[in-house]
Amino acid sequence: MTTHDHGPHSGHGANGTEQDSSPFAELMGEVMATAERFGHRQHIQLTWLAVRRHGTTTAVDLVSDGIRRTARYAGAPQKYNATVSRAWVELVGHHAGQSDTADFDAFADQHPALLDKKLLTRFYRSSTLASDPARTGWIEPDLAPFPWQQADR
């Protein structure tokens, strides 16, 4: 989830077909209908919508695949980071599970930490997130456990 400045057509196939009706493209279209750019807040909104509609487990794949494709179509596949993508979806999913609001602005007000682009640095060293293993697969937090993991320790 490191590719944050996408145009309104991000996630669409290079030829304008197939992906246009994908769940990711539909979510992207919904978010971009009221936004001028796809910044961090819109990324969190898209993730929140994906979690609410598809559940966290499915949202991990849906959002990760959409971001990976978007980075590739933007000519910057190196910007995709599997650990970052999954971590954001799981954080949003955790907080969405504790919230009964159907309004994203209210959700964001309840969980302002999610709007901090540097939130993952509470859980990961920067060098860990920048590593090849983190870019290509899942790496557990190495600074502090996620909130739902703290009860397990």
- Are 76 and 12 within 8 A, CB to CB? no
Residues 6 or more apart whose CB falls under 8 angstroms from that of 16 comprise none
Taking CA atoms, 39 is separated from 48, 84, 153, in Å, by 14, 15, 34
**What whole-number percentage of the chain has pLDDT above 70?**
85
| pLDDT tens column, 18-28 | 445 799 999 99
DSSP class of residue 120 equals: G
| pLDDT tens column, 78-97 | 999 999 999 999 999 999 99
Q: Kindly report the average pLDDT of the chain as a whole number.
A: 87
Can you name the residues that pair with 139 across neighbouring β-strands? Answer: none
- Separation between Cα atoms, residue 115 and residue 130, nearest integer Å: 21
Which residue do the tokens 């145009």 mark? 7
| pLDDT tens column, 34-68 | 999 999 999 999 999 999 999 999 999 999 999 99
